[in-house]
A and B are shown apart, each in its own frame.
Chain A
Amino acid sequence: MRPVPEPVVDPGAQAERTRLSWNRTGLALAVNAALLVHTASGSLARHLPAAAMLLVALACFLLADRRYRRIVAAVRAGRSVASIAHVRTLAAVAVLPAVIALAGVLVP
């Protein structure tokens, strides 16, 4: 007997596309962190902003994975998929790189 195929929950692969989008954002943050490491000279303190940004990049990857599973579960259960917390957290953190970059450029 052939197993009954599970119904496709998310035919447009929206959940996966959203996860990849979070991953790309994490990568962009990591690239910025690498650039900061490259341009930072001297003391360990000057590498702290880059380290902070790298942590945010890592958080993006971990969040992407968790968000993917939450979305699939929500779609399967017919619940809302909007996550104000995720977007708000990244929005708050995303201004940080701009401040760091500005400080890095202005402080010789």
Chain B
Amino acid sequence: MAEQPDSPTGQPGSTARGRRPRLSEVGSDPDYRYSLANERTFLAWIRTSLALLAGGIAVVQLAPDLGPRALRLTVGIALIVIGGVIAGAAHHRWSTAERAMRLGTSLPPSRLSVVLGYGLAIVALVVLIVLIVAEGGQ
């Protein structure tokens, strides 16, 4: 997540020293509505992360009938790790979007939705298989 994507405009946010200037020093203030929308998107990602954490804890601790403990632990840890990655990357997404808005460049693509989408798809598949196997064994 830390590498900078190559920008066709030659990375307008970087200085000669290679150190990125502070957010408030680049460009100009965007419309306050955009800044606040960006902030709310950040908060929405944090809430998504918290929901995944709650799901992960619940699968391991509150659903003993779902399947063997090893499998529940795998699903729970997967959910919590996805949640942790999203929480960790949410600030980077916020700050790159804010920087792009201040400089008037296009918003950089975010890989957060990829992590969430494919991550949850894999978890759903595993849970589905666990349920089918558990029902078939009875």
- Binding partners A and B: yes
Q: Which A residues fall within an 8 A CB radius of B?
A: 12, 14-15, 17-18, 21-22, 24-25, 28-29, 31-32, 35-36, 38-39, 71, 74-75, 79-84, 86-88, 90-91, 94-95, 97-99, 101-102, 104-106
- Whether, in the assembled complex, B56 has its beta carbon less than 8 Å from a beta carbon of chain A, the answer is yes
| B contact residues around A98 at 8 Å (CB) | 49, 53, 80-81, 83-84, 87-88
Secondary structure at the A interface, as helix, strand, loop or mixed, is helix
| B contact residues around A90 at 8 Å (CB) | 42-43, 46
**Among the listed A24, A91, A102, which residue makes an inter-chain contact with B80, where contact means beta carbons less than 8 Å apart?**
A102
Secondary structure at the B interface, as helix, strand, loop or mixed, is helix
- Interface contact B33-A94, CB-CB below 8 Å: no
For this complex, 14 residue pairs linking A to B, each with C-beta atoms less than 8 Å apart, are A32-B53, A79-B29, A82-B98, A87-B91, A90-B42, A94-B46, A95-B88, A97-B53, A98-B88, A101-B57, A102-B81, A102-B84, A104-B57, A105-B77
Pairs of residues from A and B, 5 with the lowest C-beta to C-beta distance, nearest first:
A98-B84, A91-B91, A94-B87, A39-B61, A28-B50
- Interface contact A75-B80, CB-CB below 8 Å: no
- Interface contact B54-A31, CB-CB below 8 Å: yes
**Among the listed B44, B61, B98, which residue makes an inter-chain contact with A105, where contact means beta carbons less than 8 Å apart?**
B61
Interface residues on B, range: 35 or more
- B43-73 to A contact mask, C-beta < 8 Å, 1/0: 1101101110110111011100000000001
| B contact residues around A15 at 8 Å (CB) | 36
| A contact residues around B44 at 8 Å (CB) | 21
CB A76 to nearest CB in B, in angstroms, measures 11
Q: B42: nearest residue on chain A (CB-CB)?
A: A87
**Among the listed B24, B43, B77, B83, which residue makes an inter-chain contact with A22, where contact means beta carbons less than 8 Å apart?**
B43
Q: A84: nearest residue on chain B (CB-CB)?
A: B23
| A contact residues around B60 at 8 Å (CB) | 105
- Whether, in the assembled complex, B76 has its beta carbon less than 8 Å from a beta carbon of chain A, the answer is yes
